[in-house]
Amino acid sequence: MNSYMDGIIVRIISNLFTVKCDNVFVDCQARGKFRNMGLTPLVGDRVKVDFDNKYIIDIYSRRNELLRPRVANVDVCLIVTSLKHPDFSSLLLDKMLTNIILSDIEPIIVFSKYDLLTEEERKEFDNIINYYKSVGYKTILNTEYSCLFEYLKGKTVTLTGQTGAGKSTFINKLDPTLNLKTDDISEALGRGKHTTRHVELFEINDIYFIDTPGFSALDIHVPKENIKFAFKEFKNDECKFRDCKHINEIGCKVLEDVENKVILESRYENYKKMVME
């Protein structure tokens, strides 16, 4: 076997990196030069490995990178968003959409726990779901996961969402043999327990899934002036001023659309919160 091989990082635990080279898995350490360069190897990185000495010696240029979860070279991000237990957070959803869109990754919103809703709750959430769909976001319910299968083949996919939203459950439905650990929601905290302890990449029928630890909050990692470009329904080029921030400017098309209920009020309020944070 050639001592130097190309591969992809599929798992990171502490300072140990598992790299898949063809159909061989090798546990490696990273050369100290990466630390000196301020470069951290990530799951999804394409790398060159010194197979004999078990070292990562080069990290190839990344197409994109997410900070939370820390992954690289992602084609699609499934945003698993709980509608119940834990409660739906439109702010968290819009923060995740913003980070993903401005990282040049395609987002797909998976609304989970839909089957747990009462008939009255479904009517309320159907309006929200239909709004996101109408402005151009791809959305599915957790009961419709099978329709994604063909679309995702050949792609590297990450799942993100608050703890307990159902990310591990989603992967288990695609391949029950993985048996990723799932726990009940912590009633005391009102949010899920951390059931995924590390970032890992699984190949499931020609799809590379990256399962990641959940979280309950998310910070925006993009310049505030760029946030408006992640909101598909904002007609930024129709405002009177090119640098309009959509807060209180004269001739703002976004404010006009909010007043006329063309833009969902909660979406606009979330935008303001992100800009003002």
CATH number at residue 235: 1.10.40.50
pLDDT at 144: 84
Helix 90-101 vs helix 265-276: crossing angle, to nearest 10? 70
Q: What is the pLDDT of residue 56?
A: 97
Confirm whether 272 is domain-assigned.
yes
Residues 45 and 82 reside in one and the same domain:
no
Whole-angstrom distance, CA of residue 80 vs CA of residue 100 = 13
Question: How many structural domains does the chain have?
Answer: 3
Q: 174 and 75 share a domain?
A: yes
Write out the two tokens for 82. Answer: 């709980």
Indicate whether 151 and 259 sit together in one domain. Answer: no
Examine residue 104 and state whether it is found in any structural domain, yes or no: yes
Q: What is the mean pLDDT of each run of 10 residues along the chain (277 residues)?
A: 86 92 93 91 95 95 83 91 92 93 93 94 96 95 82 88 77 72 41 57 83 58 91 95 94 97 97 93
Q: Is residue 219 part of a domain?
A: no
Assess contact for 277 and 269: CB atoms under 8 A. Answer: no
Between CA 65 and CA 27 the distance in angstroms is: 23
Q: pLDDT tens, 46-81?
A: 999 998 999 999 999 999 987 766 889 999 989 989
Q: What is the CA radius of gyration of the chain?
A: 21
In this structure, which long-range contacts are made by residues 172-176, counting pairs with CB atoms below 8 Å and at least 24 apart in sequence? 173/145, 174/145, 174/149, 174/204, 174/205, 174/207, 174/209, 175/202, 175/204, 175/205
Answer yes or no: do 147 and 198 share one domain. yes
What's residue 2's pLDDT? 61
The pair of structure tokens assigned to 228 is 């408006």
Same domain for 72 and 96, yes or no, is yes
**26 burial via Cβ count (<10 Å: 0-12, 13-18, 19+):** middle
Position 71 in a domain: yes
Domain with 13, as residue range(s), is 4-59
List, for residues 216-242, the tens digit of each pLDDT value.
Answer: 446 677 889 999 999 999 999 999 999
User: What pTM did the predictor assign?
Assistant: 0.80
